[in-house]
Amino acid sequence: QQICYNGWKHKHCLKYYAIVTPDGLISHLFGPIDGQRNDSFLWCESNLLVTLQKYA
């Protein structure tokens, strides 16, 4: 339980990172990650920057 506890929101949660195109399609989805992690951790763990550079 402690792993999924978010101290900022005082709730238990799982975090996801998603990129949605203007037409509503999910082009990238990463997660779940335990709720105590911040957004920059999700960004680093998702390796999205590497993927974007690869296909740019």
Condensed to tens digits (0 to 9), the pLDDT of residues 8-21 reads 777 788 889 899 99
pTM, entire model? 0.69
Residue 32, preceding peptide bond in cis (omega within 30° of 0): yes
Domain ranges of the chain: 5-55
What does each C-alpha distance from 32 to 22, 53, 54 come to in angstroms? 23, 24, 24
Condensed to tens digits (0 to 9), the pLDDT of residues 6-53 reads 777 777 888 898 999 999 999 999 999 888 888 899 999 999 999 889
Sequence-distant (≥ 6) Cβ neighbours of residue 42 within 8 angstroms: 15, 17, 30, 31, 33
